[in-house]
Amino acid sequence: MVPQDVFVAARSSEWSELDALLLRGDDLQKLGGRDISRIAALYRAVCKDVMRCRAAHYSADLSAYLDGLAGRAHNVLYSARASRGGGRALGLARLVARDFPRTFRRRARFFALSAALFVIPWVIGQAGAMASNDFALKVMPAPALEQMAEAYAQGFADGRATGADAGMAGFYVYNNVGIAFRCFATGVLFGAGSVFFLVYNGLVIGTSLGHVIRSGSGGNMLTFICGHAPFELTAIVISGAAGLQMGYALVATGGRTRLGSLRSQAREIAHLVLGAALMLLIAAVVEGFWSPSAVAAPVKWAASGLFTLLVVLYFALAGRGPARAEGP
């Protein structure tokens, strides 16, 4: 095995060259064709150096340095912004049309685990609250339960007060994003935070629904939530999945440093989080304007079925086709 000092002496000149090229611009549009070609060659070389470093069990500092250098080069080569106006719009379109659904399918196991952590407590909470008021009181305080029952007692046959929809849509954005953010961000605690918030929110939502059903207003509540639920609940579970993926990256590092392992997953995690945020925005608009409207219940349920079908087809079919290589 080549000693670390010899390895560093032999390869450091190319590392310094790559570092200098990367400092000249944070995207490809700031570099010439020759420099871009050179960065690509040096990037491939440093990726090989990363593997040699791990195989030889060189120091953690060297491993972290090479991980960081490779990550920066990867970002320049594969995350370049459009050179003309509309780059952000094109990036958003690419996220929706390709990156989000592809990443979802590629990381479906995290979604499945997140869904189980959310749905099973929901079912337990709903069944327990429907069977016993004491169960509901052990999960939620009495004032909150009473408020839920009163909110859905009258239904929405007359719609909501004029001018209230826009304000409520804003509230729903704030509330739903807060729930999803906690499910995702606490994944940094090696996934434990995401597990807790998925279970907690599933239990609370299930208990609330079960209590309202027990009070006799379940039909009103279900008719209200059926329209936005396909977007909102799916987005919350996807946010939890992103948190679980982040936690897994911190535990199963594959020989990298924890920071290097997390960096290698950052692109996919970003796809999931940004995609979930867009779904929450759609859910807030539906919840603010459609769900409380005076539209007949059968129409709302038909719309819910259509929304659910669209969500399923989107994740099953969107972004299909040859995938562009994105590096290791």
Domain boundary among 42, 61, 80: 80
Can you point out the beta strands (E) in the chain?
Answer: none
Taking only the tens place, the pLDDT of each residue in 271-324 is: 999 999 999 999 988 988 888 888 999 999 999 999 999 999 999 999 887 544
Residues 113 and 57 in one domain: no
Nearest to 168 by CA among 293, 277, 284: 284
Stretch 173-179: mean pLDDT: 73
Cβ neighbours around 294 below 10 Å, total: 10
Q: Which residue in this structure is represented by tokens 């982040």?
A: 246
Could you tell me if residue 325 is inside a domain? no
Residues 209 and 186 in one domain: yes
Taking only the tens place, the pLDDT of each residue in 124-146 is: 999 999 999 999 999 999 998 99
3-state secondary structure 248-274: HHHHCCCCCCHHHHHHHHHHHHHHHHH
pLDDT confidence bin for 215, thresholds 50/70/90: very high
Stretch 90-105: mean pLDDT: 90
pLDDT surpassing 50 at residue 260: yes
The whole-angstrom distance between residue 56's C-alpha and the CA centroid of its chain comes to 35
Residues 136 and 64 in one domain: no
pLDDT surpassing 50 at residue 202: yes
Could you tell me if residue 327 is inside a domain? no
Residues 138 and 285 in one domain: yes
pLDDT surpassing 60 at residue 175: yes
Residues 293 and 226 in one domain: yes
Residues 158 and 184 in one domain: yes
Q: What is the mean pLDDT of the chain?
A: 85
Could you tell me if residue 326 is inside a domain? no
Residues 229 and 302 in one domain: yes
Residues 57 and 173 in one domain: no
Could you tell me if residue 324 is inside a domain? no
Residues 60 and 194 in one domain: no
Domain boundary among 80, 106, 136: 80
Residues 225 and 282 in one domain: yes
How many structural domains are present in the chain?
2
Could you tell me if residue 85 is inside a domain? no
Domain boundary among 32, 56, 80: 80
Tokens read off for 287: 């919840």
Taking only the tens place, the pLDDT of each residue in 219-240 is: 999 999 999 999 999 999 999 9
Nearest to 223 by CA among 130, 148, 294, 163: 294
User: In which domain, by residue range, is 109 found?
Assistant: 90-317
Could you tell me if residue 185 is inside a domain? yes
Nearest to 220 by CA among 133, 158, 306: 158
Could you tell me if residue 183 is inside a domain? yes
Could you tell me if residue 59 is inside a domain? yes
Residues 69 and 132 in one domain: no
Residues 185 and 76 in one domain: no
Contact status, residue 118 vs residue 198, Cβ threshold 8 Å: yes
